[in-house]
Amino acid sequence: MLMDPTSEVLDAALKYADMGLRVFPVFAPTPSGCCTCRQGSHCSSPGKHPRLRGWMTKASSDEKQIREWFTKYPTDNVGIVTGGPSGLFVIDLDGEDGVKSFEDLVERHGDVPPTLTVRTARGLHLYFYSTVPVRSRTALFPGIDVRGDGGMVVAPPSVHKSGARYTFEAGAQIAEAPTWITEQVAAVEIPDVSPHPTEDHSADDDDSHDSEIIPEGERNTALTCYAGAFRAQGQTFQEIREQLLIINAKNCKPPLPEQEVEGIARSVARYKPNGKRQRIRPDENKLFWVKLEVNKILGDPDIRLMKEEQRGWFMFLLLEAWKAGGTLPADDRSLYVLLGCSSKQRWKRMKDEVLKKFRREIDSEGNPILVLDWMAETYAEQLNALNQRISAGKKSGEARAQKAAASKKGAQAASGAQMEAASLTA
């Protein structure tokens, strides 16, 4: 059944946006179970595929954009983007097989924390945050699919083609996934080239369906996510490089130059496998100067397309991030206070674009943080160079002190010998 054209789905979409998630409209099913897209009864995934072509990049947490979409399409379902900077992934338990498989996993590995859980027409969706990249996968275990990088999930109060609604089952907050779960879902394989990446369907623009590819504009982000997952497993630069080249050739349209893919592998391989980032306290920062690559910032189309106020916020956060080694606190309240915004609602509406360049991570103390990778890497390099100079200076100083002490000792010995010789002569 179609949802009544009320504010219910709009309210839900705005709530998800307040949680820092990016949403978009999804075609709804008709009362007869067909799809409201132009393929109608011929659609292979009614009520489960995005209305927007390029939905991965167009999805938003901007209030104005969300209101525009769901005012124009009031009966649509609502979708949430998984993976990427949000760190969100969803475990889809399909029917009794999926529930049984998950129960077996819990029995073998340990309990899971209470988390946001949604009842679907056939099973459950378990929402988690992860600090390592998690890609979308089907049949990870019998009846278990995973929605991660490059994926999406249909969310409450959306309607299934059967007429059943997606409803909240338990948990008001999305929990951090326990280690044993991330170890299971982040075990990366070379992705299959399938026409249906998530919910058995790809993006739709009223009457056409895209094939499953990594399009221009998303290739670097996608390959970096894969590289991060490979590195988390302890793979070497050469191993990461070889796998990225395969993914690039099979999935990226058009493929990136081999040299660029190799650069991604080399950059990610510098990080320690499964290492937790040690966040630097601003009052402990040894580097009082910041190295900004002007062309990197001014030449970035995402930054140039920001509104004037958003660019100002971004530049301010850039400087604040440098004070903490390329990182920021991940919670909205801290960022809002840090920026001194005049309106909290205004920040919530506009933050998505401002934080687009930052990646969510958990630091060594278990706190969620935002990381600007190129800045963190630059900071680490400069800090290492500074420490080397300090160490070299200390060694040089110690060498000079030892030389001076030896010289003084030699002079004293020579003076004593002269005095003794003079005494014998007398």
Q: What is the pLDDT of residues 196-233, one digit of tens each?
A: 333 334 444 443 333 356 777 667 767 776 776 676 66
Shared domain for 129 and 259, answered yes or no, is no
Residues 150 and 121 in one domain: yes
Range with top average pLDDT, 34-43, 341-350, 390-399: 34-43
Collapsing DSSP to helix, strand or coil, 165 comes out as strand
15 with 157, same domain: the answer is yes
Shared-domain flag, residues 75 and 139: yes
User: Is 115 in contact with 88 (CB distance < 8 Å)?
Assistant: no
- What is the residue range of 360's domain? 282-376
pLDDT at 284: 58
Contact in structure between 195 and 211 (CB atoms under 8 Å): yes
Confidence of residue 36 (pLDDT cuts 50, 70, 90): confident
Question: What's the pLDDT at 234?
Answer: 67
Domain membership flag for residue 74: yes
Judgement on whether residues 128 and 247 belong to the same structural domain of the protein: no
**Residue 11 pLDDT class (50, 70, 90 cuts):** very high
Q: 186 — phi, psi (to 5°)?
A: -90, 5
In our burial notation (b when 16+ CB lie closer than 10 A, e otherwise), range 15-54 reads ebbebbbbbbbbbbbbeeebbbbebeeebebbbbbbbbee
CATH value at residue 346: 1.10.10
Q: Is the pLDDT of residue 33 over 90?
A: no
Residue 144, pLDDT > 50, answer yes
User: Model confidence at 12, in pLDDT bands (50, 70, 90)?
Assistant: very high
- 319 and 350 assigned to the same domain: yes
Least confident of 31-45, 212-226, 232-246: 212-226
Question: How many domains does one find in the chain?
Answer: 3
Q: Give the contacts of 158 (CB within 8 A, at least 6 positions apart).
A: 3, 9, 26, 28, 47, 77, 78, 79, 165, 166
Among 273, 293, 309, identify where a domain stops. Answer: 273
Kindly compute the dihedral angle of the four CA atoms of residues 96, 99, 100, 101, in this order, to the nearest 10 degrees: 120
Is 218 inside any structural domain?
Answer: yes
Is residue 274's pLDDT more than 60?
A: no
25 vs 27: CA distance, rounded Å? 7
pLDDT of residue 364: 60
192 and 151 part of one domain: no
- In this prediction, residue 329 carries a pLDDT of 85
Query: In terms of domains, do 65 and 161 share one?
Result: yes
Cis peptide before 46 (omega within 30 of 0): no
Average pLDDT over residues 365-373: 76
CA-wise closest residue to 352 among 52, 58, 26, 10: 58
Q: Is residue 403 part of a domain?
A: no
Whether residue 32 is found in the same domain as residue 144:
yes
Q: What angle do CA 135, 234, 385 make, to 5 degrees?
A: 110
Asked if residue 145 and residue 18 are part of one domain, the reply reads yes
In degrees rounded to 5, what are phi and psi of residue 282?
-55, -35
User: Per-residue pLDDT averaged across 76-101, rounded?
Assistant: 90
Q: In this model, does residue 277 exceed pLDDT 70?
A: no
Query: What residues contact residue 67 under an 8 Å CB cut-off, 6+ apart?
Result: 10, 14
Instruction: Name the pairing type of β-strands 88-94 and 152-155.
Output: unpaired
Asked whether residue 42 falls in the same domain as residue 161, the answer is: yes
Mean pLDDT of the chain: 78
**Quick check: is 367 in a domain?**
yes
Do 65 and 162 belong together in one domain?
yes
The pTM score is 0.49
Amino acid at 82: T
Residue 165 within any structural domain of the chain = yes
